[in-house]
Amino acid sequence: MTSPTQRTAPARLEARINPETKALIQKAADLQGRTLTDFVIASVQAEAYKVIERHQSLQLSCEDSEAFIEALLNPPQPNDALKSAASRYKQIIAD
């Protein structure tokens, strides 16, 4: 068990970039009054949250939203494939 005074060593991330890109990132960091490392970490973390959010949310067009609501309010009758799948599922659960 880790005591409150013990800390996990930080993970390391390395990247090789061309001098022009480094200068650009350094200038942006300087404008924000951050170190290069702090700027890179904050920027990458913010982008990671955006990417995760985009992949975890579902956005429907107006037409898709209406079709979804219609299917919820007036569901179609189950077809043969669905009935067969439900039967197989019940069989698996019973075993």
| Straight-line distance from the first to the last Cα atom of the chain, in angstroms, rounded to the nearest whole number | 42
pLDDT of residue 5: 64
Token output for 26: 């350094």
Q: For position 81, what pLDDT does the model report?
A: 96
Residue-wise pLDDT for 31-79, tens only, equals 999 999 999 999 999 999 999 999 999 889 999 999 999 999 999 999 9
pTM score of the predicted model = 0.57
Task: Give the separation between CA 69 and CA 90, rounded to whole angstroms.
Answer: 28
